[in-house]
């Protein structure tokens, strides 16, 4: 690949923990033929100092690396004020010069790894200060969150689209870089034993859990304006719902896959007004013990309001009103300070019509297909088989596939794959504007209710648990329960 990668926010946490190590791995694998990186941030640093910090981040993420000095020699730095045209003029000169030196064919990737309030301003300046006037391709990679609600997302999109075409915009959802999220499509569409059953005749419900043990850490200021609904549900959880629910695309092109995902969003049952608290449960963590450590309540965290109404947990029932899914609940739950770190999808199949194998009072276990997204990667299929011995008793057996090869490689959360996709010009695993817009309009109706009614019952779950008790009731009402994720 041949490209100049310009990282805005190059001294930030994301750049250090994810982007630099991912770029090194691409470099090491020979995926970056001709490349240079220009780091842009507020702090005043020399290029040498910047190169040292890149080296530190790569070595601390990946251990000793022989070609590190060669790698960092491709890195340059400019101290930058995002709202000042002079800064962009200097950046343009630097970029043109580097383009020439490394023969980068005018290919440019602008990666915005900084606070979202600057996204629009930067995009506008890139155009007005002519950094986008290149003879190669120009692409904009943009981190989450994409807006705060539908109105702000529309505004941001307008600013971005005045400088870039939709096909040049790569909206990152790092879940779409995860190996097993990408695998959902293959498991579904490459197996004769799943696709014919993948509908409301054979599936009773689908459960998606993404639990974290960490609290809000130092991100209290941001999180207070976001909450679990915006931070996790609007993007990552909804993307997984779309991949699980979409119709088979006619081919694997970006446009076809996106259009099938969008059709799922269009079929989402709107939940508003009084229905919100029937379909969704919000929670906020109180103090408790997580992995043997005593931790404070959310309201005691730094930069958090002592009476905060922000949810650190959300669970809900999502219905997709189309032929394939009518009547099948997609239950989702996600939150901070839960008992375990895990992202898993459980597909529960319907019971067989009649059970011939009653073992005393016990019913047969339903068939489950479990997709393990993180930390383990793999799939487990739960079946019933004969218990060894004389009687015709059935017992549960599990067929498991663990993606150990990939896990051992410890891919830095998919950023490596997403960066490579972007350089290749493959936008399939990035979020299209239509998906963002539909998803916000779904979420906005929930936040409208939650923001206008104070949750005087907060905190309502203890740190180190799987959320408030109402979350179990959400499924019990329908005759189901959450399958354990550990
Ligand atoms: P950060 O606060 O650690 O870094 C921000 C960067 O922006 C720094 O390099 C800083 O110098 C630069 N910056 C801030 N104000 C500036 C200004 N006025 N002019 C020029 N530069 C300025 O933030 P982060 O954690 O790296 O996150 C960056 C983006 O990535 C955010 O949109 C965040 O939501 C998203 N994100 C981060 C993570 C993560 O793991 N850190 C994960 C997912 C998404």
In this prediction the ipTM stands at 0.93
Q: Identify which of 381, 365, 325 has the alpha carbon closest to the alpha carbon of residue 187.
A: 381
Beta bridge partners of 78: 40
Question: For all residues of the chain together, what is the average pLDDT?
Answer: 94
**Which ligand 1 atom lies nearest to the CA of residue 222?**
34
> Whose Cα sits closest to atom 1 in ligand 1?
12
110 C-alpha to ligand 1 centroid (Å)? 14
The ligand 1 atom nearest the CA atom of 18: 40
pLDDT at res. 403: 83
| Cα dihedral across residues 167, 261, 334, 228: positive or negative | positive
Q: What value does the mean pLDDT take over residues 88-108?
A: 97
462, with CB counted inside 10 A (0-12, 13-18, 19+), is middle
User: What integer is the mean pLDDT of 398-419?
Assistant: 76
CA of 446 to the centre of ligand 1 (A): 28
Of residues 237, 478, 483, the one with CA closest to residue 347 = 483
Which residue in the block uniquely carries the two structure tokens 């189309």? 322
337: left (phi > 0), else alpha (psi -120 to 50), else beta?
left
Residue whose entry in the numeric block shows the structure tokens 């240079």: 36
- Could you tell which of 12, 77, 413 is best to mutate to test the pocket of ligand 1, judged by most ligand atoms within 8 Å of the CB? 12
How much distance in Å is there from the Cα of 13 to the middle of ligand 1?
A: 7
At residue 408, the pLDDT reads 46
Rounded to the nearest angstrom, the distance between the alpha carbon of 236 and the centre of ligand 1 is 19
pLDDT value of position 263 = 98
Q: What is the pLDDT of residues 129-142, one digit of tens each?
A: 999 999 999 999 99
For 262-290, the pLDDT digits (tens) are 999 999 999 999 999 999 999 999 999 99
Residues framing ligand 1 (Cβ under 6 A): 9-15, 17, 41-43, 80-82, 113-116, 143-144
- Pick from 7, 14, 175 the residue to mutate for probing ligand 1's pocket: most ligand atoms within 8 Å of its CB: 14
Q: Which among 89, 47, 53, 88 has a CA at the least distance from the CA of 68?
A: 53
- pLDDT, tens only, 47-86: 999 999 999 999 999 999 999 999 999 999 999 999 999 9
Q: Give the distance (Å) from ligand 1 centre to CA of residue 77.
A: 16
Ligand 1, atom nearest to 11 Cα: 9
Identify the pLDDT of residue 405. Answer: 60
Sheet holding 285-290, edge to edge: 293-295, 285-290, 461-463
280-283 and 313-318: which strand pairing? antiparallel
Give per-residue pLDDT as tens, 209-224: 999 999 999 999 999 9
Cα 9 to averaged position of ligand 1 atoms, centre (Å): 5
Q: What is the arithmetic mean of pLDDT over 153-161?
A: 97
Tokens (6 digits) for 168:
């040049």
Closest C-alpha residue for ligand 1 atom 25: 13
Ligand 1 center to 253 CA (angstroms): 32
> Using CA atoms, how far apart are residues 190 and 255, in angstroms rounded to an integer?
20
pTM score, whole prediction = 0.94
Q: Which of 6, 9, 171 to mutate to test the pocket of ligand 1 (most atoms within 8 A of CB)?
A: 9
Supply angle C-alpha 107, 139, 226, rounded to 5: 150
- β-strands 330-335, 203-211 pairing: parallel
What is the sign of the dihedral through the CA atoms of 10, 13, 14 and 18? positive
- Give the range among 235-249, 360-374, 407-421 with minimum mean pLDDT: 407-421
Q: Name the residue with the closest Cα to ligand 1, atom 20.
A: 42
Ligand 1 mean position, distance from CA 15 (Å): 8
Asked whether the beta carbons of 329 and 247 are under 8 A apart, the reply is no
- Give burial (CB, 10 Å; 0-12/13-18/19+) of 87: middle
Q: Radius of gyration of the chain from Cα atoms?
A: 24
Q: Which atom of ligand 1 is nearest to the CA of 10?
A: 9
Q: Closest ligand 1 atom to the C-alpha of 114?
A: 28
Task: Please list the residues that pair with 208 across neighbouring strands.
Answer: 332, 345
Mutating to test ligand 1, I would choose from 10, 43, 113, 117 the residue with most ligand atoms within 8 A of its C-beta, which is 113
Q: Report the percent of the chain where pLDDT is more than 70.
A: 97
| Nearest atom (ligand 1) to Cα of 80 | 20
Q: Measuring from atom 4 of ligand 1, which residue has the nearest CA? A: 12
What is the CA(114)–ligand 1 centre distance, in A? 3
How much is the average pLDDT of 212-239?
A: 96
User: What's the CA gap between 484 and 50, in Å, rounded?
Assistant: 45
Residue 93 CA to residue 199 CA, distance in Å, equals: 56
Contact 236, 335 (CB under 8 A): no
Q: Is the pLDDT of residue 361 over 80?
A: no
Reading the block at residue 243, the tokens are 């991949």
pLDDT band at 412 (very low <50, low <70, confident <90, very high): low
Give the residue, by CA position, lying nearest to ligand 1 atom 7.
9
Query: Measured from the CA of 112, which atom of ligand 1 is nearest?
Result: 29
3-state secondary structure the chain: CEEEEEEECCCCHHHHHHHHHHHHHHHHCCCCCEEEEEEEECCCCCHHHHHHHHHHHHHHHHCCCCCHHHHHCCEEEEECCCCCHHHHHHHHHHHHHHHHHHCCCCCEEEEECCCHHHHHHHHHHHHHCCCCCCCCCEEEEECCCCCCCHHHHHHHHHHHHCCCCHHHEEECCHHHHCHHHHHHHHHHHCCCCCHHHCCCCCEEEEEEEEECCCCCCCCHHHHHCCHHHHHHHHHHHHHHHHHHHCCCCCCCCHHHHHHHHHHHHHCECCCCHHHHHHHEEEECEEEEEECCEEECCHHHCCCCCCCCCCCCEEEEEECECCCCCCCCCEEEEEECCECCCEEEEEEEECCCCCCCCCECCECCCCCEEEEEEECCCEEEEEEEEECCCCCCCEEEEEEEEECHHHHHHCCCCCHHHHHHHHHHCCCCCCCCHHHHHHHHHHHHHHHHHHHHCCCCCCCCEEECECCCCHHHHHHHCCCCCCCCCC
Q: Average pLDDT of 174-203?
A: 95
Take atom 30 of ligand 1 and give the residue whose Cα is closest: 113
Q: Which residues contact 388 (CB under 8 A, 6 or more apart)?
A: none
Q: β-strand 293-295 against 285-290: which pairing, if any?
A: antiparallel
The residues annotated as belonging to the active site are 236
């Amino acid at each position: 690949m041949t490209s100049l990668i310009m990282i805005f926010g190059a001294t930030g946490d994301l750049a250090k923990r994810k982007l630099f190590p991912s770029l090194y791995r691409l470099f090491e694998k020979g995926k970056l033929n001709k490349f240079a990186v220009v780091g842009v941030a507020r702090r005043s640093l020399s290029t040498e100092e910047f190169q040292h910090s890149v080296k530190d981040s790569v070595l601390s993420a990946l251990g000793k690396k022989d070609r590190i000095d060669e790698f960092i020699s491709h890195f340059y730095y400019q101290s930058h004020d995002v709202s000042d045209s002079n800064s962009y003029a200097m950046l343009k000169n630097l970029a043109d010069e580097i383009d020439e030196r490394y023969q980068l064919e005018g290919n440019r990737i602008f990666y915005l790894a900084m606070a979202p309030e600057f996204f629009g301003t930067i995009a506008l300046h890139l155009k007005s200060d002519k950094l986008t006037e290149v003879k190669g391709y120009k692409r904009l990679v943009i981190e989450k969150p994409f807006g705060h609600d539908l109105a702000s997302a529309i505004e941001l999109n307008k600013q971005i689209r005045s400088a870039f075409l939709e096909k040049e915009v790569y909206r990152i959802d790092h879940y779409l870089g995860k190996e097993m999220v990408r695998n959902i499509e293959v498991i579904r569409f490459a197996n004769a034993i799943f696709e014919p059953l993948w509908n409301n005749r054979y599936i009773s419900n689908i459960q998606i859990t993404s639990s974290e043990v960490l609290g809000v850490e130092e991100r209290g200021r941001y999180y207070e304006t976001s909450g679990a609904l915006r931070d996790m549900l609007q993007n990552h959880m909804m993307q997984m719902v779309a991949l699980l629910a979409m119709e088979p695309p006619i081919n694997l092109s970006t446009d076809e896959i996106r259009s099938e995902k969008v059709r799922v969003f269009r079929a989402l049952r709107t939940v508003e007004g009084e229905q919100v608290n029937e379909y969704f449960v919000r929670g906020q963590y109180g103090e408790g013990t997580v992995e043997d450590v005593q931790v404070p309540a959310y309201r005691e965290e730094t930069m958090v309001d002592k009476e905060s109404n922000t949810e650190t947990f959300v669970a809900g029932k999502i219905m997709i009103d189309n032929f394939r899914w009518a009547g099948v609940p997609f239950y989702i739950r996600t939150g901070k300070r839960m008992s375990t770190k895990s992202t898993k999808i459980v597909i529960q199949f319907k019971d067989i019509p009649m059970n011939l194998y009653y073992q005393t009072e016990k019913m047969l276990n339903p068939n489950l297909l479990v997709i393990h997204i993180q930390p383990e990667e793999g799939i487990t299929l739960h079946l019933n088989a004969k218990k060894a011995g004389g009687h015709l008793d059935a017992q549960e057996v599990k067929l498991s596939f663990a993606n150990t090869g990939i896990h051992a490689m410890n891919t830095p959360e998919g950023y490596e794959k997403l960066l490579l996709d972007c350089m290749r010009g493959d936008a399939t695993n990035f979020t299209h504007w239509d998906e963002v817009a539909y998803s916000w309009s779904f979420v906005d109706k929930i936040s409208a209710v939650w923001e206008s009614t104070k949750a005087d019952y907060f905190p309502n779950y203890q740190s180190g648990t799987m959320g408030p008790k109402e979350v179990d009731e959400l499924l019990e009402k329908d005759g189901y329960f959450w399958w354990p994720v550990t």
